[in-house]
Amino acid sequence: MKEYNWPGNVRELINCVESAVVMTRSDVVDLASIPDYVMNQPIGETAGSEEGGLLDDLEKKTMAQVLNETGGDKAKAARKLGIGLRTLYRKIEKYGL
């Protein structure tokens, strides 16, 4: 993770850590929970951050998983994701979930 370029700076790092926490199946975040785009990026390259880029794909996948885990309960999903319900609805519309 130290070698990753972090083009989104602190916000991207926060999103990566939050995603890893959501995706982990244990009490400890391990390397398997770290998004592939961080672990597999060749040194010196920049991850895509444009519309439809890797971060959007990761966010969509994470949201779909959490919605599935909560049985579609949007209020529970929003709490688990640490976002507001209005934000969740906006992102559901954005990603067509």
Q: What is the mean pLDDT of residues 74-94?
A: 89
- Rounded to a whole number of angstroms, the CA Rg of the chain reads 14
Q: What is the mean pLDDT of residues 70-95?
A: 89
Mean pLDDT taken over the chain:
79
Confidence of residue 41 (pLDDT cuts 50, 70, 90): low
Confidence of residue 20 (pLDDT cuts 50, 70, 90): confident
Give dist(CA 42, CA 4) in Å, integer: 8
For the chain, the domains span: 9-95
Q: Which of 19-23, 45-49, 52-56, 85-89 has the highest mean pLDDT?
A: 85-89
Domain 9-95 has CATH 1.10.10: yes
Give dist(CA 44, CA 40) in Å, integer: 12
